[in-house]
Structure 1
Amino acid sequence: MIRRAASLLLIVWALGFALFVVLLPQPLPPARSDAIVVLTGGPGRIERGLALMRRGLAKRMLVSGVAPAVKPHELAARTRAPLALFDCCVDLGHEAVDTRSNGEETARWIAARRYRSVRLVTTDWHMPRAALELRHSLPRDVTVVGDAVKSDPNFGMLLMEYNKFLLRRAAVLVGL
């Protein structure tokens, strides 16, 4: 009986992992939202957010999880974006240190501005957990759409991220 239950659990976990890998989120077509939130930590994320801002698809952008020493002009120079865009429309969030605190930092930023729609930009393999954290931190009336940056993750990275997602989802279900 225990072997069967363990086998069934392993099969369900493996099928879930397969779905996780096959259904990795994709980039979204351009569309307006109140805000864009970019989580640091992967190539192409900030550039994707800035490209959307240049097209006028949001009022403001938050880059969450920026090292405290980084200044707007440094990030503008590194991304070859106009400093004027940073001056008017880009905020750097220095409080977040992980995905969970990205959600909390973003929720405070969105609440302070009373935004109702947000485009979340992060890497495709990171999107399920990042969206879970953000939705968990925000009121239900705020719409979150995930705009994934394509990547080429290896098997180990996908496996680790899937397990993190499952653990965090279980924690949210029990109220943590």
Structure 2
Amino acid sequence: MRRPSAFKGRLVIVLVVILTAVWVGGLVRFVTQITPETPPAASRKADAIVVLTGGRERLPAGIDLLQQEMADRLFVSGVHSDVDVAEILDLNSQAPTTLACCIDLGHDARHTVGNVRETANWMAAGERTSMILVTANYHMPRSLVLFHRIMPAIEGAVHLDIWWRHPRTLFLLASEYSKYLVSLIWPPA
């Protein structure tokens, strides 16, 4: 006769293996969904372009969309408190200084939920109802879940960050996938 503790130990091991397999399978699916061959382009003009800080290529892409007149305003959420619009434009050598009038910075967000709240407040203050969201494609699924909870009307998504060149890509993807899973079940604080 087997001891109950040996059975419980095996059951725990089987459950851990199953959960790990499901998580890895979900991660593979997540990665295949976020790696389009060509990045999606903004399909039509919106009230605003919103850039979530974090990747080097996000800001230039947002400024490029503004130059293409895809929106009249560009909002950059999660900017360090010491950074101003002139510095943003200096970092983007191809951006004309005439764009300074059309760029707003949000200095309060420290994480994605903060980005969503900061953006929602900015959008409401300007009576804006549509936006083009600019972030890395690995960050897009979770960002969209959070934005849709607070702001159901979102236009477009633009892939920007060349995330696969980062040295810690596997950790980055596993971390983002885990956060995405949590965002599906956990309401924003």
* TM-score, scaled relative to structure 2: 0.82
Task: Note the residue ranges of structure 1 that are not aligned, 5 or more in a row.
Answer: none
State the shift of 1:4 in Å.
5.1
After superposition, the CA RMSD in angstroms is 1.9
State the shift of 1:18 in Å.
0.7
Are 2:81 and 2:107, in contact at CA under 8 Å, matched by a contact in 1? yes
State the shift of 1:101 in Å.
0.0
Are 2:42 and 2:156, in contact at CA under 8 Å, matched by a contact in 1? no
1:129-144 aligned within 5 A: 129-138=142-151, 140=152, 142-144=153-155
Are 2:135 and 2:161, in contact at CA under 8 Å, matched by a contact in 1? no
Aligned pair count reads 171
- The residue matched to 1:149 in structure 2 has which SS? coil
> Which residue in the other structure is 1:18 paired with?
28
State the shift of 1:103 in Å.
0.4
- Aligned residues with identical type, % of pairs: 33
Say which structure is richer in strand: 1
* TM-score, scaled relative to structure 1: 0.87
1:59-138 aligned within 5 A: 59-80=72-93, 81-87=95-101, 89-138=102-151
Cα separation, 2, equivalents of 1:48 and 1:90: 13
- The residue matched to 1:21 in structure 2 has which SS? helix
Cα separation, 1, equivalents of 2:35 and 2:96: 29
> Which residue in the other structure is 1:148 paired with?
159
1:15-54 aligned within 5 A: 15-24=25-34, 26=36, 27-31=39-43, 32-54=45-67
Which string of whole-angstrom CA distances, capped at 9 and with x for unpartnered residues, describes residues 136-175 of structure 1? 222x3x2242212142151111111111111222212xx7
Are 1:25 and 1:127, in contact at CA under 8 Å, matched by a contact in 2? no
